[in-house]
């Protein structure tokens, strides 16, 4: 068949989506500015301080067990109080105050890293930080659930994630590259911690200003949301009757133990085994963020038109490749390749995860839903990171740190691969325009349009 005829058949089957067709599902300009600016600010702040926490802990002599505790406490307390804060935001029908207070205050306790003399005190500081983050997490997710139309949740959550990745890349460039070139490889991170904390607070204050012009969705006239008046007990009963939600929480949590198991292991491999400099660690973070900027919006459009569950399966299955790559990496540039190729798959498919969560959570009582999701996964993340750190420490009784690390990473790799198959059981909760069998034809006929930003109607 001539190529021109083939192209015509494809266009007949997959008509080009005109930019104007998508504007019916857009949120307002000020809402976009508020959400994207907050996403950037949080990512920038976290990216500015994150490398300092790791290097300060290691410089103070933190063991693998201590590193595991730092990450485990972060996972647990960032999500442990979410049901309480989420339920509270449901009851008062306000999301924005929780978001604003959390965004401005969470980074401030990191200033005390300037004073610590032992790595155990880092655990306490990280605990306070993550309690303040927990204050805003369920409200932030619930606000997106209330604002985003169901038809374009993948696209809009993808945009929020895109801006967050952009912020992370900017922050990593500053902390890992600019500061190192300005002060040298032996920068005293503890001495300079107040600089990123101060910048983070300033950026956060600027970022939350647009929220002043946003009306709370639950208080808008004509906003069609079912009102939930029951007690906390009734709310929990409703949540457990939501079969797609409870199933997703169960699967995500079981996988979460193994997912987080390797988090403290990666830092040990980078810094202790391969002797990565701050610039080299920063480049790995930049590579990860760059793949997100390139692919997350494409993945978001695929999620909206073809479905979420197959992207979730791809996202979880790809994660076993990370520890596999770390096992065989003997030079730091090997990790650059690992981060590029595997992060490309991960970021392409991650929009399906976020969109599916919004699909299975109703807008009423959504603060409590997100709180329960965060609490349950947070407990499993706590167990996973703690177990990962201590497994290496126990193995070091018999083996060298490098061999112990390899054994732990091999265990994670195998378990991630096996547990990835449990996500085959997820079912879509809404219908979609196309099936995944039609994806190659759709991409061929709409390639340029997939990356084109919709224009506004005049």
Q: What is the mean pLDDT of residues 157-182?
A: 77
8 A C-beta contact, residue 242 and residue 360: yes
pLDDT, averaged across the chain: 78
Q: What is the DSSP letter of 118?
A: S
pLDDT digits (tens, 9 = 90+) for 119-147: 888 888 888 998 898 888 888 888 888 88
What's the first-to-final CA gap in the chain, in angstroms? 41
Task: Report the C-alpha gap between 54 and 62 in whole angstroms.
Answer: 9
Burial class of residue 21 (count of CB atoms within 10 Å of its CB; 0-12, 13-18, 19+): exposed
- Closest by CA to 51, choosing from 132, 164, 168, 222, is 168
pLDDT digits (tens, 9 = 90+) for 44-67: 888 888 767 777 887 787 776 777
Task: Report the C-alpha gap between 372 and 74 in whole angstroms.
Answer: 17
Q: What is the mean pLDDT of residues 247-255?
A: 89
Residue 179: band (very low, low, confident or very high) from pLDDT cuts 50, 70, 90: low
Tokens 């349009």 sit on residue: 449
239/325: higher pLDDT: 325
328/232: higher pLDDT: 328
220/292: higher pLDDT: 292
| In the predicted structure, residue 19 carries a pLDDT above the cut 50 | no
8 A C-beta contact, residue 64 and residue 268: yes
pLDDT digits (tens, 9 = 90+) for 84-98: 888 788 888 888 899
**Range of lowest pLDDT (183-187, 333-337, 355-359, 389-393):** 183-187
Buried b or exposed e, range 386-409, using 16+ CB within 10 angstroms: bbbbbbbbebbeeeebeebbbbbb
8 A C-beta contact, residue 16 and residue 447: no
What are the structure tokens assigned to 40, written together? Answer: 């950037």
Residue 205: band (very low, low, confident or very high) from pLDDT cuts 50, 70, 90: very high
Tokens 């791809």 sit on residue: 314
DSSP structure string for 120-159: HHHHHHHHHHHHHHHHHHHHHHHHHHHHS-GGGHHHHHHH
SS3 of residue 227 by DSSP: coil
8 A C-beta contact, residue 166 and residue 271: no
pTM for the full predicted model: 0.71
267 CB-near residues (< 8 Å, 6+ apart): 54, 58, 67
- Closest by CA to 376, choosing from 254, 243, 260, 263, is 254
28-214+232-444 — its CATH code?
1.20.1250.20
Tokens 């959570």 sit on residue: 361
Q: What is the mean pLDDT of residues 312-327?
A: 88
SS3 of residue 396 by DSSP: coil
Q: What is the mean pLDDT of residues 337-361?
A: 85
Instruction: Return the half-sphere exposure (C-beta side, CA atoms, 13 A cut-off) of residue 141.
Output: 30
Task: Report the C-alpha gap between 132 and 129 in whole angstroms.
Answer: 5
Residue 2: band (very low, low, confident or very high) from pLDDT cuts 50, 70, 90: very low
What are the structure tokens assigned to 238, written together? Answer: 């409703």
Burial class of residue 51 (count of CB atoms within 10 Å of its CB; 0-12, 13-18, 19+): buried
| In the predicted structure, residue 306 carries a pLDDT above the cut 90 | no
What are the structure tokens assigned to 440, written together? Answer: 């190659």
Task: Report the C-alpha gap between 170 and 203 in whole angstroms.
Answer: 13
pLDDT for res 14: 37
């Amino acid at each position: 068949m001539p190529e021109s005829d083939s192209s015509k058949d494809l266009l007949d089957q997959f008509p080009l989506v005109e930019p104007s067709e998508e504007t019916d599902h857009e949120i307002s300009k000020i809402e976009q500015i508020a959400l994207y600016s907050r996403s950037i600010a949080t990512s920038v702040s976290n990216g500015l301080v994150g490398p300092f926490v790791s290097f300060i802990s290691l410089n103070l002599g933190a063991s693998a067990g201590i590193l595991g505790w730092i990450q485990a406490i972060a996972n647990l307390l960032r999500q442990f109080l979410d049901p309480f804060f989420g339920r509270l935001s449901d009851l008062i029908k306000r999301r924005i105050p929780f978001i604003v207070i959390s965004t401005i205050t969470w980074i401030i306790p990191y200033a005390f890293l300037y004073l610590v003399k032992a790595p155990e005190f880092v655990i306490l500081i990280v605990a306070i930080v993550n309690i303040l983050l927990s204050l805003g997490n369920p409200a932030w997710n619930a606000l997106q659930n209330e604002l985003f139309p169901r038809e374009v949740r993948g696209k809009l959550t993808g945009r929020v994630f895109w801006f967050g990745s952009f912020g992370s890349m900017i922050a990593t460039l500053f902390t890992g590259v600019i500061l190192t070139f300005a002060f040298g490889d032996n920068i005293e991170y503890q001495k300079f911690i107040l600089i990123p904390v101060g910048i983070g607070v300033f950026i956060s204050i600027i970022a939350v200003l647009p929220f002043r012009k946003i009306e709370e969705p639950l208080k808008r006239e004509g906003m069609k949301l079912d009102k939930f008046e029951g007690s906390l007990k009734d709310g929990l009963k409703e949540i457990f009757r939501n079969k797609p939600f409870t199933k997703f929480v169960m699967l995500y949590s079981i996988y979460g133990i193994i997912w987080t198991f390797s988090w403290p292991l990666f830092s040990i491999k980078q810094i202790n085994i391969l002797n990565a400099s701050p610039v080299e660690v920063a480049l790995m973070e930049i590579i990860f963020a760059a793949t997100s900027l390139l692919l997350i919006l494409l993945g978001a459009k695929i999620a909206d038109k073809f479905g979420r569950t197959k992207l979730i399966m791809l996202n979880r299955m790809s994660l076993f490749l990370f520890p596999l790559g770390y096992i065989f990496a003997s030079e730091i540039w090997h990790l650059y390749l690992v981060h590029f190729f595997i992060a490309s798959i991960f970021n392409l498919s991650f929009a399906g995860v976020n969109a599916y969560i919004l699909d299975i959570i109703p807008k009423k009582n959504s603060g409590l839903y997100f709180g329960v999701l965060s609490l349950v996964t947070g407990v499993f993340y706590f167990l996973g990171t703690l177990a990962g750190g201590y497994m290496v420490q126990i193995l070091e009784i018999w083996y060298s740190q490098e061999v112990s690390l390899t054994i732990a990473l091999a265990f994670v790799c195998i378990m991630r691969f096996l547990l990835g198959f449990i996500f085959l059981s997820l079912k879509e909760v809404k219908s979609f325009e196309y099936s995944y069998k039609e994806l190659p034809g759709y991409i061929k006929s709409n390639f340029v349009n997939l990356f084109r930003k919709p224009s506004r109607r005049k």
